[in-house]
Structure 1
Amino acid sequence: MADALDLDVNERLLLVVEDDDAFARTLIRSFERRGYRVLRAADLAQVQQLLGSHTPGFAVVDLKLASGDSGLSCVQTLHAHSAAMLIVVLTGYASIATAVEAIKLGARHYLAKPANTDDIEAAFARAQGDAEVELTERTTSIKTLEWEHIHETLAATGFNISEAARRLGLHRRTLARKLEKQRVK
């Protein structure tokens, strides 16, 4: 059984689920300076292992993990472990589809990278939506729509480039080149 210290949300125990070592170290240092105790996992298996002995009050989850695990699976596992956990999803591959799914699975907020510690803490604090958020007049560009469609297809195929290329009607190498141009990590 986890000790009482780990179960106390007021202890500010944070789990960072991030496979990029440099970014994870930066986040961890920044949150530790703000008084959080920080645990780190790089994939779903490590998340499950940590949940065996800890119940964090907060989690920051990368959407796309190098292990092939989806951050959405991590969100689902974390929320099932503790519905009170405040979960923020970070991604360099933002799309409307994944944002909606992350919220449905229990995330508090969804932020596009680069996001800093201030942005993440503000997201933890936001319990309600903001009806006063400014609506932009800018229309979405064709390139943005193309990128969102590519990402949605990638997510639907479990990030299998060959299958996504087939569904998009592209050659696999063409899709790989497009992804390399849009790399945001």
Structure 2
Amino acid sequence: MDGQSLLIVDDDKPFQQRLARAMEKRGFETVTADGVQDAAAKITQTAPAFAIVDMRLEDGNGLDVIEMLRRKRPDSRAIVLTGYGNIATAVNAVKLGAIDYLAKPADPDDILAALSRKPEDKAEPPENPMSADRVRWEHIQRVYELCDRNVSETARRLNMHRRTLQRILAKRAPR
């Protein structure tokens, strides 16, 4: 991995900087971007060999960055980090060219393992998989976001009472 170029795209500046320092200690030459537009400019200038991209950015979707990178440099290896993980976006990220999809906050060693894994090797199953309650909560959050955070529309699509949905949304995410 020594001397490999790495683009880190995240709008959470403190997390971005900590991750950049951690990856530099592991031999990467890091470049950071705060959003889709910034990442597009850096990819156009010099497409990196590796990328770590946050799914939700202030100015767009991290999947757009994955797609741009794949068009500019097909052999690049990118992973998606997100605090809003769900199966549909993970599948979409892989279809667009991401090699892995990790939940935030991801450990730098897990990120390094994902970036350096050979394409034919399968990822290890998670030590602590999501509980059924967490999967349900993630699904509700995804539909809520797709409905532009409209509680009534989300409740209708999920076939549940609006007040029940409001109670679920008011609670913290299950572990």
- Paired residues of 1:17 and 1:47 also in contact (CA < 8 A): yes
- Give the structure-1-normalised TM-score: 0.76
Structure 1 position 11, deviation (Å)? 3.7
Which residue does 1:63 correspond to in 2?
55
Displacement of 1:154: 4.5
Give structure 2 stretches of 5+ with no counterpart: 157-161
Query: Structure 1 segments of 4 or more deviating over 4 A?
Result: 133-136
AA in 2 matched with 1:103:
V
Match of 2:149 in 1: 161
Is the alpha carbon distance of 1:34 and 1:134 closer, same or farther for their aligned partners in structure 2, counting shifts above 3 Å? closer
| Equivalent position SS for 1:108 | strand
Amino acid paired to 1:40: T
Deviation per residue, 1:74-119 (Å, 9 max, x gap) = 1111111111111011111111111111100000111112211110
Q: Distance in 2 between matches of 1:57 and 1:135?
A: 26
The code of the aligned residue for 2:78 comes to: I
Equivalent residue for 2:159? Answer: none
Tell me which moved more, 85-94 or 120-129. Answer: 120-129
Answer whether contact 1:31 1:117 (CA < 8 A) is retained.
Answer: yes
| Aligned mates of 1:168, 1:124 — CA distance in 2 | 39
Partners in 1 of 2:137 and 2:109 — Cα distance?
27
**What is the TM-score when the length of structure 2 is the normalising length?**
0.80
Q: 1:146 aligns to what?
A: 136
Residues 31, 139 of structure 1: CA spacing in aligned structure 2 closer, same or farther, 3 A cutoff? closer
2:93 maps to 1:102 = yes
Single out whichever of 143-152 and 117-126 deviates more from structure 2: 143-152
Say whether residues 1:33 and 2:25 are aligned partners.
Answer: yes
Of Structure 1 and Structure 2, the greater strand share is in: 2
Give the deviation of 1:130 after TM superposition: 2.5
Deviation at 1:140, TM superposition (A): 4.6
The whole-number CA distance in structure 2 between the counterparts of 1:51 and 1:180 is: 40
- 1:1-185 to 2 correspondences below 5 Å: 11-67=3-59, 69-126=60-117, 127-130=119-122, 140-141=131-132, 143-154=133-144, 156-157=146-147, 160-162=148-150, 166-169=153-156, 170=162, 174=166, 178=169, 181-182=172-173
Query: In the aligned structure 1, how far is the partner of 2:2 from the partner of 2:125?
Result: 33
Is the partner of 1:161 in helix, strand or coil? coil
Percent of residue pairs bearing the same amino acid type: 32
SS of residue in 2 equivalent to 1:15 = strand
CA RMSD of aligned residues (A): 3.1
